[in-house]
Amino acid sequence: MTKEGKLTHLAEDGSASMVDVGDKTATTREAIAVGQIKMAPETLTLIREGNLKKGDVIGTARLAGIMAAKQTSNLIPLCHPLLLTKIAVNIEEAPELPGLRITSTVRLSGKTGVEMEALTACSVTCLTIYDMAKAADKGMEIGGIRLVKKTGGKSGEWHADLSDSTTS
C-alpha cells in the first residue's frame, strides 16, 4: 500500500500491473521469513537420523528453498526478476512442537524488496520437508509462515511484533 492508502499493483482502471521501479534508488535490501512444520516425534527422529527412503531431508529442503527464492518471479505474478546476492535457509529442530523451524534470509542491492523471495524460500522448504517425510507422517502441519524483518528501500526497516506469535 502507498501512503495514500492505494494498492501498489493496481492500475487506475483496477487491473493488475507490475510496479515500475525504474526511478527508485538502489539500496541494500534484506528480508527474513520464518515458518514451521509440526510432525510426530518419531518422524523428527527419522529425519534427524537420516532414516527416510528419500534421503537427506534437511539438505534437500535447504536447497529447494534456495532454488525457490531464485524462481519467485516465475511463480508469483507481478514480482520482479531479481539478482539476489544472498539466500540462506536455516532449519532447526524444535522438539517442543515437535518439528522443524525454518528461517530464510534473502538479500540484494536493488530497487525493490525481497520479501516475497524470503517467504517463497520458507514455504518451499516446508513443502519439501513434507514431501520427503509424508510416507512416514501424512499428518504433518505447515504453519506460521510470515515475514519477521525487512530492511532497505524508502520505507526503511520493519520488524514484526513477535510477542503474540507461535513462531518465535
Separation CA 152–CA 122 (nearest Å): 20
* Residue (of 5, 6, 30, 8) closest to 19 by Cα position: 8
The pLDDT of 35-50, averaged and rounded, is: 97
Quick check: is 131 catalytic? yes
Is 107 part of a structural domain of the chain? yes
Q: What's the confidence (pLDDT) of residue 12?
A: 73
Residue 138 lies in a domain: yes
Does residue 132 sit in helix, strand or coil?
helix
Note whether residue 168 is domain-resident. no
Q: How far apart are CA 95 and CA 101, in angstroms?
A: 10
Domain count, the chain: 1
Q: Which three cell numbers stand for residue 55?
A: 534421503
CA–CA separation, 140 vs 134, rounded Å?
Answer: 8
- Overall average pLDDT of the 9-21 stretch: 73
Range with the poorest average pLDDT among 23-27, 59-63, 114-118: 23-27
131, 137, 161, 164: the active-site residue: 131
Residue 167 counted as domain residue: no
Distance (Å, whole) CA 136 – CA 48:
13
Whether residue 15 lies inside any domain: the answer is no
Domain that holds residue 86: 27-152
Q: Which residue is listed with cell 516475497?
A: 116
Report the CATH number at residue 110: 3.30.70.640
Q: Which residue has the cell 530464510?
A: 104
Distance CA 132, CA 3 (A): 44
Angle at the Cα of 71 from the Cα atoms of 34 and 135, rounded to 5 degrees: 60
Tell me the average pLDDT across 44-66.
96
- Asked if pLDDT for residue 9 goes beyond 70, the answer is no
Contact indicator for 167, 101 with CB cutoff of 8 Å:
yes
Looking at every residue in the chain, the average pLDDT score rounds to 91
Best CA proximity match to 18, nearest among 27, 26, 9: 9
Helix 57-70 crosses helix 115-133 at what angle (to 10 degrees)?
150
pLDDT (tens digit per residue) in 89-111 = 999 999 999 999 999 999 999 99
Q: In this structure, is residue 86 part of a structural domain?
A: yes
What is the number of residues in the chain? 168
Kindly state whether residue 38 falls inside one of the protein's structural domains.
yes
Q: Which three cell numbers stand for residue 86?
A: 544472498
1 lies in some domain? no
